[in-house]
Amino acid sequence: MDGIVYPKVSEYIEKFGGIKELQNLEDYAKENHVPIVMKDAARLLAFMVSLHRPEKILELGTAIGYSALVMALHSGAEIVSVEREEGMKETALKNIEEYGMKDRISVVLSECEEYLQKTEDTFDFIFMDAGKSHYREYLELSLPKLNPGGFILCDNVLYKGLVVHDTAARKHRTNVVKLQEFLDYVHSREDLRVSLLTVSDGMLLIRRKE
């Protein structure tokens, strides 16, 4: 239940590692049970931002700042990352300072929905990694904030593979049902170009059709 691909395939991919410069943060997250992007997701994020060269990035869900640092190390972008837990924000800021990225990454203490409703900023790339049952709301609020040519990447959309089943254990049910509805919804939108990847825990690419 803990992966979306055959375990041997996950093990094989894992053995290539994540982002070397951030290994100590990966270790910290593991020891302290902080959920951060998987190694292959980190590599995809690094690849995407180095290819797309966004000037401004929005991240929903900071945790300890790991993925924000992945994006900062692989692009020249200014990054705004939104986090609702004060303790996480403080840890993220400490890590961001240690990597000398204080001028490039700002962490906003807020609910994502609230931030998206209030901000007047627009972005070239939006990485969604906060509340999995709120992706639809995040999407509706994010699309008007996306610059022309920009795109959105959402993590964990296959949710350990549970979204393919008709039922899920009670503790996962809300996330699973909401993600199933979200995936149906985005695929039904004629104005969006969507690509669902079996990378990490399931990642979804979204952009407006031109």
- By CB under 6 A, tell whether 57 contacts ligand SAM: no
CB of 160 or CB of 208, closer to ligand SAM: 160
Encoded amino acid at 84, one letter: R
Q: Is 120 annotated as a binding residue?
A: no
- By CB under 6 A, tell whether 112 contacts ligand SAM: yes
**Measured distance CA(58)–CA(72) in Å, rounded:** 12
CB of 3 or CB of 35, closer to ligand SAM: 35
- By CB under 6 A, tell whether 35 contacts ligand SAM: yes
Identify the helix (H) or strand (E) that includes residue 68: helix 66-73
Q: In the set 18, 54, 61, 202, which binds ligand SAM (CB under 6 A)?
A: 61
Shortest Cβ 36–ligand SAM spacing (Å): 4
Beta strands in 6-133 (DSSP E): 56-60, 78-83, 105-109, 123-128
**Measured distance CA(79)–CA(123) in Å, rounded:** 9
How many residues does the structure list for the chain? 210
Q: In the set 39, 67, 95, 172, which binds ligand SAM (CB under 6 A)?
A: 67
Beta strands in the chain (DSSP E): 56-60, 78-83, 105-109, 123-128, 146-154, 192-197, 203-208
Shortest Cβ 190–ligand SAM spacing (Å): 28
- By CB under 6 A, tell whether 63 contacts ligand SAM: yes
Contact present, 160 and 175 (Cβ < 8 Å) = no
Q: Is 14 annotated as a binding residue?
A: no
Contact present, 52 and 76 (Cβ < 8 Å) = no
Number of alpha helices (DSSP H) and beta strands (DSSP E) in the chain: 8, 7
Q: Is 67 annotated as a binding residue?
A: yes
**Measured distance CA(52)–CA(165) in Å, rounded:** 35
Shortest Cβ 21–ligand SAM spacing (Å): 14
Show the binding pattern over residues 115-154: x = contacts ligand SAM (CB under 6 A), - = does not. Answer: --------------xxx--x--------------------
CB of 183 or CB of 203, closer to ligand SAM: 203
**Residues near ligand SAM, by CB under 6 A:** 35-37, 61, 63, 66-67, 82-85, 88, 111-112, 129-131, 134
Residues belonging to the binding site for S-adenosyl-L-methionine are: 37, 67, 83, 129
